Structure 1
C-alpha cells in the first residue's frame, strides 16, 4: 500500500511537467486561415424545399516539431456585410485529420441550410454569392491530440471578399 501512495504523486508530477506544457505550447503555435467559402443555391418549388450549401476549407499550419491528430472541429460561420454580422450556421467536423510537424493540413466541411433557416440573412448571403463585398468569419474549437495528450484550441479566422478590408 505504501508504494501506491508514493506512485500517485510521482505520476502527477511527471504528467504536469515538460511534455504536456511543450505540447500545449506547440498547439498554441498552430495557425488557422479560412481558405475558401463557396456558396451555392439549389432552388426548388415550393421554396421551402430550396437549399443553400457552403463548402468551407480551413487551412491549418503547424510550425512546431509536434505532430497533431485532429479529432474534431466545431464552429460558427458568420457573414459580415454592410456593417452587420449575420449568423449563417454551425458546423461540425468529425473526420480525423493529421497535421505533420512543420507541415499543414486542410479541414473541409459542407454545411447546408434550408430556405427557412436562411430567410433572415438572405439579402447578405445573396450579395456575397453575387460578388458583393464583406467577410466570412469562423469562430470555433479544435480538438486534437499530440502523443495521446488531449488538447482543445480556440479557432478564429476571417476572409474578406469583394474588396472588403
Structure 2
C-alpha cells in the first residue's frame, strides 16, 4: 500500500506544475496599482476632542491580463513625505469584495479617520494638508485576490505627489 502512495506523488507534483495557477500568478504580477486620489478633510468640532481629519483614498487597480480576478481584501499602511521626513499615518483594511475584469480597471475607495488625539500626534499631516507645500503620499500593503478559486496575495506599493513637487 505504501509503495502505491509513493507512485502517486510524482503524478500529483506534475499536475500542480501544469495547473493554471502559474498562469494566474503571472497575470496577478501584471496588475498595476495607482493611488488615484487622496482627499483630506479637516472636520473641526466643539469640543475639540470631537474634531477629526478624514483622508478619502481612491486606489485604482488595472488588470491588463485576460484573467479576471475577484479582489477579496486589502491591508496597507498610509504615510506621507513632507519636508524631507517620511511619516506613517495609519493602517487601512478593506474587506469588501470587488470584481476586477480581464483587461479592465476597478477602484477601491476607503476613508482613514483620525481623532483629536491622533491629530496632535500627526500634526505633520495637518501641516501638509493646510500649508500648500509639496510632498508625497505613500501606500504600501497586500492585496488578496482570487482567480477561479485560486487565492493569491500581491504586494502593493504606490506613491502620489501633492503640491508643487
Segments of 5+ residues of structure 2 without an aligned counterpart are: none
State the SS of the aligned residue for 1:163: coil
Matched, 1:150 2:135: no
Q: Partners in 2 of 1:98 and 1:16 — Cα distance?
A: 27
Matches within 5 A, 1:58-97: 58-97=59-98
State the SS of the aligned residue for 1:151: strand
Alpha-carbon distance, 1:15 to partner: 2.1
Return 72-81 or 7-16, whichever deviates more.
7-16
Distance 1:112 1:128, change over 3 A: same
Q: Render the CA deviation track for 1:24-54: whole Å, top value 9, x for unaligned.
A: 1111100000000001111122322211111
Segments of 5+ residues of structure 1 without an aligned counterpart are: none
Q: Partners in 1 of 2:149 and 2:13 — Cα distance?
A: 16
Distance 1:129 1:22, change over 3 A: farther
Q: Render the CA deviation track for 1:104-130: whole Å, top value 9, x for unaligned.
A: 110111111112123132134333244
The TM-score, its normalising length taken from structure 1, stands at 0.90
* Mapped contact 1:98–1:105 kept (Cα < 8 A): yes
The TM-score, its normalising length taken from structure 2, stands at 0.90
Alpha-carbon distance, 1:163 to partner: 1.8
Count, aligned residues: 164
* Mapped contact 2:128–2:135 kept (Cα < 8 A): no
Matches within 5 A, 1:47-62: 47-62=48-63
Q: Render the CA deviation track for 1:57-110: whole Å, top value 9, x for unaligned.
A: 000111111101000000000011000011110000111111111111101111
Partner of 1:136: 137
